[in-house]
Structure 1
Amino acid sequence: MAPIAQTIPTTAGSPLTESSTLPFGEYLFRRLHQVHKVKSIFGVPGDFNLSLLEHLYKTDLEWIGGCNELNAGYTADGYSRYNNSLGVVITTYGVGELSCINAIAGAFAENVKVLHIVGVPSRMAIFDEQEKKKHLHHLVNNIDPFADSDRFVYTKMVEDITCVSEIVTDATTAADQVDHVIKEIFKTSRPGVIFLPVDMSDVPVEASRLTLDPADRFHIVEDQDPALTNKLSTVILEKLYKSTNPAILADVLVSRYHDGVPLLREFVDRANVHSYTTFMGKSILDECHPTFVGDYIGLESNKGVKENLEDSDLVLFFGPHLNEINTGHYSFDLQEGQLIMLHSDYIKIGSEVFRGVNFVNVLRQMLDIVDVSKIPGPRPVPFEVSPRYPHIPSSASISQSVLLKKFESFLRTGDVVVCETGSFMFGIPDFRFKTDVTYIAQGFYLSIGMALPCSVGVGIALRDEGSGRRLILVEGDGSAQMTIQEISAFPHYGLTPIIFLLNNSGYTVERIILGEERTYNDIKPWNWSKVFELFEFGNQGHCISKTIHNEDELERAMCEIDSNTSNLQFFEVILDKLDCPWRFHHMNNYRLFPLEKKIGLTLN
């Protein structure tokens, strides 16, 4: 008797059976659609990926086209950051993938799960000895005029900025390769690459695993060593019970692994000990929680924050991402004996390191076995917490100090804030977010121009989940000129963010570093109030655009926003070109406070 074929559910096209085959391109998109929260695909078409893209329309995935490949990479990054899942970007050979490579590097630096799919020449063009002698378009020639061009010259470039890469050339192993890449991306929370020859998209592959082994749990953090997880959980809790003044410090990697944020918030709530976040970890914890003290950035912390955390006898440091910016230029002063580091790759207790353990599994086990009655109750923090410089004067009618205070009051529960690399970013640790505000910024790699297309990806993610949360983008004038084309995506896809364009006449961050009046820090002046006249079209143009010159105009604009939630709203805020938060002045001089002599302020 012949075996009875099992039906494989599909979302578009004809039903499949267990014994069915699919063109690999269709199989790939169906597999991606099974992954947690993946509903949209980003990218730019090119002749080496067109045959692949045709198969996307056999699924319910949506294509989100970018104005260029760099922007598309940034949108995929934003989609991943908000969803804590895959952001998928598709580009073409050479010219496309190289344009995207800066976005991939930024994702690697900040542990963002981006899958980059690159359409490449056919298998014959890559491997046939005669074909390899031909110089293909999009491919750089060998420096030796008598040598063949290296078909893999671009694949080598991403080896150190991806966790995994696969060149898919064989139908019998293609499905395994796809799963391997996706799983490695989730395991490491780093970008990965699939290089797909143009002729592979239509090759039939076995499709049975779509129903027999779906990809809907690939995002779950697997426990590689349950016995070690249990042991470490017990050891950490015993140290917590024996401490007298413990604290919790949350960093960005908590938000990169499934359940990391809700688990840590639950632990903070149950343990009831003082809690802090880092510069990159801001918004991971509820900043309205009674145990929250502030953002720990070493010497760049607000007054009292550094002193209070470093006074703790035990610090549970979850999801650490140790780098120059996040550590206040390596001014953290936590001793090995008081520190337990719970990383995605290791747990470090004092000087002892345990590899192959993810903090998520340890944290989940700690929640299962914790005896909260043994945890010492919080005592009042010994040092008062307050802004280090409450107000820095400006020659413009609006100072960044005032803007930061107004912005803090303007935010409401549930907002999603995307902040560009720039001076304003370094003032955000001076205030507290309301409950369930999500903050997204590239706080370490710091590629200017990233936030605008990133916010498109965030907006698409919000739309995909049917969320009514407000999306707020804080953008700089110099940064916006880098990636301004992608602002057209907002009206095109029906997104209605609130955009604050901070116009400080150029590169203020660079002016503070060097060249206050140099022309290399100037940018071309644009009439920002007219920007949407170019990008709006048909009946989709619903943008409110205003230029704000003073505090009263800013106050009125923020009050009016709530009555215009169905419209995209764009506010250009005029600032002085040398006005920036105190923290960046300090960063630029690393251990000194130049404000004392520069603008007559005294360090509190």
Structure 2
Amino acid sequence: MSKDIRTQSLTKPVTVAEYLFKRLHQIGIRSVHGLPGDFNLVALDYLPKAGLQWVGSVNELNAAYAADGYARTKGISALLTTFGVGELSAMNGVAGAYSEHVPIVHIVGCPSTISQRNGMFLHHTLGNGDFHVFANMGAQIACESAKLVKPTEIADQIDHAIRECWIRSLPVYIWLPTDMVEKKIEGQRLDTPIDFTEPKNDAAREDYVVDVVLKYLHAAKNPVILVDACAIRHRVLDEVRDLVKKTSLPVYVTPMGKGAVDETSPTYGGVYAGLGSHPDVAARVEGSDLVLSIGSMKSDFNTAGFSYRTSQLNTIDFHSNYCVVRYSEYPNVRMKGVLRKVVERVDLSTMSRGVPINGVVNEVTKNKDDSKAITQAYFWPRIGEYFQPGDFVVTETGTANFGIWESKFPSQVTGITQVLWGSIGWSVGAAQGVALGVKDMGKDNRTILFVGDGSFQLTCQEVSTMIRHNLRVTIFLIYNEGFTIERFIHGMEAEYNDIKKWKYTDVPATFGATDKEVKTFVVKTKDELEKLLLDKDFNERKGLQFVELWMPKDDAPRGLKITTEISAKNNARTEE
């Protein structure tokens, strides 16, 4: 009777699953990644009722990687796994999203509150009656955890978790017991969208920081702008674009910031990564008397082994929730508001435009030797000329992440990398998520994946999901006989860096692709590569394409060689 009374008191009763999934649809999610398990099956029935597509990856790790790629493309994503075995398999992918500021709503179907209260000896548990151990693990890689166990609080919990996911650009963890899935809660609040308005800075504090920034900017003789990953994750690219356009200052990106600015701009200067930079890029950035650093993430691989030679005395750092001007930190002053006012108030009549730059080009001729082999030095500038405006370019941890530094992007190209977390195999799942995100936006832009043969072997099954959803993906598999980045760190000829050669171009057919659904190519020489890249059908084809690209085993991009040498030295350090 009490249950009926509670239901009757609701204005627009909806089930918990309906509420949750409709919220996901309202914020722009159209596809949900994950795998079925008995603790989430009933919830899955409600996805189509909310207008959501179930993706169904081949395993939870790949699903998490794909959710990461989807979020980087569409802004936010959802991942649905089952208790214990499922969520733990996904945890590596979610941890990567946490480290790199990627917003994923991770929903875990778990045993009923009754089963938990009675301490039942259930499958997928540790057999010790502790049903919270996995949620406690998940909480370490989530900015908010919501256990949906009290119907009167569930709507608030869902809305708060989703808002935190968006505002903080980090994963959240939502625990959904089986007996809560169909509980009725108030649905009237679905008529009001979740407020995604970012917290505003205190006006006086913001104005003070803006004044300090402008003071140094107006006084600088040779200022530059350096754009990093958090400028992308925390959605300040419009402010960055307007700042570059208005000031005409030289602008550089870090490896993690690749694609954050228009590389066809006459003031774009290239990729800055400390000692890994081209000498002229390093000289210009490190010779600047003021670096406007936007959204920096100064990890070892993003800085070529912490090899920046810039001074904090000449740096202003803009971050998602604080700013640092030289050595003075201003907490709770978000960069978005500060950058917008800097753009509005900068006085161009008193500001130096810095040293003119020569512009960036794809140096194909300079790096083309007389051999037939496709070298790293030749390939990456050449592939830069293959790219088209609007491409989504996914690069795997390792060779591709470093090689792409040498490619100049056309306008509106989105670069997607995982430099900080660096989980080998991430890119295959991520590319599936990227391509699906593109499709869900109603676009048919190309998704282009560059992945090494070693990395591909970890997560190749996600090609099956690409085929299943008829996604437009071109895969360049770099066949160079193993884990190249590991070879250059340690063990160039070591057996543990070797892999078994597969018949790579047979993989799509093995996963069910027909000749109409996939085109495969084996490319071993520069001439064969040139012919392929100029082929009209290859450039315009809508479906899956798979290119096995042969490169020398002992070759690597310039930036990788420099960074791994520094990394090896750091690994060998001992306490004196």
TM-score (norm 1): 0.88
User: CA-to-partner distance for each residue in 1:190-235, whole Å, 9 max, x for gaps?
Assistant: 1110011111010000011111x312x42x4221423322322232
**Is 1:273 aligned to 2:249, yes or no?**
yes
Instruction: Give 1:214's match in structure 2, choosing from 161, 178, 193.
Output: 193
TM-score (norm 2): 0.92
* Change over 3 Å in CA distance of 1:591–1:458 after alignment to 2: closer
**Is 1:137 aligned to 2:116, yes or no?**
no
State the 1:500 CA deviation.
0.6
User: CA-to-partner distance for each residue in 1:261-285, whole Å, 9 max, x for gaps?
Assistant: 1221111010111111111111101
The equivalent residue for 1:9 is none
Q: Which amino acid is 2:82 matched to? A: T
SS state at 2:410 partner:
coil
State the 1:96 CA deviation.
0.1
Q: Which amino acid is 1:495 matched to? A: L
**Is 1:189 aligned to 2:169, yes or no?**
yes
Q: Which amino acid is 2:352 matched to? A: P
The equivalent residue for 1:199 is 179
Q: 1:395–1:576: 8 Å Cα contact kept in structure 2?
A: no
State the 1:395 CA deviation.
8.7
CA–CA separation in structure 2 for the residues paired with 1:236 and 1:18? 52
CA–CA separation in structure 1 for the residues paired with 2:531 and 2:213? 51
Q: Give the superposed CA RMSD.
A: 2.4
In the TM superposition, 1:378-527 aligns within 5 A as 378-380=354-356, 391=367, 397-527=373-503
**Is 1:46 aligned to 2:46, yes or no?**
no
Deviates more, 1:396-405 or 1:242-251: 396-405
SS state at 1:135 partner:
coil
Q: 2:29–2:76: 8 Å Cα contact kept in structure 1?
A: yes
CA–CA separation in structure 2 for the residues paired with 1:28 and 1:548? 47
The equivalent residue for 2:533 is 558
Runs of 4+ more than 6 Å apart: 382-387, 392-396
Instruction: Give 2:226's match in structure 1, choosing from 249, 257, 261.
Output: 249
The equivalent residue for 1:577 is 553
User: CA-to-partner distance for each residue in 1:391-423, whole Å, 9 max, x for gaps?
Assistant: 598997221122112211111222110111121
The equivalent residue for 1:101 is 91
Q: 1:303–1:386: 8 Å Cα contact kept in structure 2?
A: no
Q: Which amino acid is 1:87 matched to? A: S
Q: 1:44–1:67: 8 Å Cα contact kept in structure 2?
A: yes
The equivalent residue for 1:237 is 214
State the 1:520 CA deviation.
1.6
Q: 1:491–1:540: 8 Å Cα contact kept in structure 2?
A: no
CA–CA separation in structure 2 for the residues paired with 1:390 and 1:427? 16
CA–CA separation in structure 2 for the residues paired with 1:70 and 1:43? 9
The percent of aligned pairs where both chains have the same amino acid is: 36
Instruction: Give 2:68's match in structure 1, choosing from 77, 86, 110.
Output: 77
CA–CA separation in structure 2 for the residues paired with 1:155 and 1:257? 27
The equivalent residue for 1:11 is none
Q: 1:303–1:385: 8 Å Cα contact kept in structure 2?
A: no
**Is 1:543 aligned to 2:533, yes or no?**
no
In the TM superposition, 1:280-299 aligns within 5 A as 280-299=256-275
Q: Which amino acid is 1:164 matched to? A: E
* Change over 3 Å in CA distance of 1:54–1:205 after alignment to 2: same
Q: 1:86–1:113: 8 Å Cα contact kept in structure 2?
A: yes
Consecutive unaligned residues of structure 1, counting only runs of 5 or more, are: 1-16, 143-148, 594-604
* Change over 3 Å in CA distance of 1:521–1:591 after alignment to 2: closer
CA–CA separation in structure 1 for the residues paired with 2:52 and 2:340? 33
CA–CA separation in structure 2 for the residues paired with 1:431 and 1:32? 36
Number of paired residues?
Answer: 560
CA–CA separation in structure 2 for the residues paired with 1:86 and 1:470? 20
User: CA-to-partner distance for each residue in 1:494-540, whole Å, 9 max, x for gaps?
Assistant: 21211111111111222222222222222122111211212235x79
SS state at 2:207 partner:
helix
CA–CA separation in structure 2 for the residues paired with 1:326 and 1:557? 32
**Is 1:19 aligned to 2:11, yes or no?**
yes
The equivalent residue for 1:113 is 103
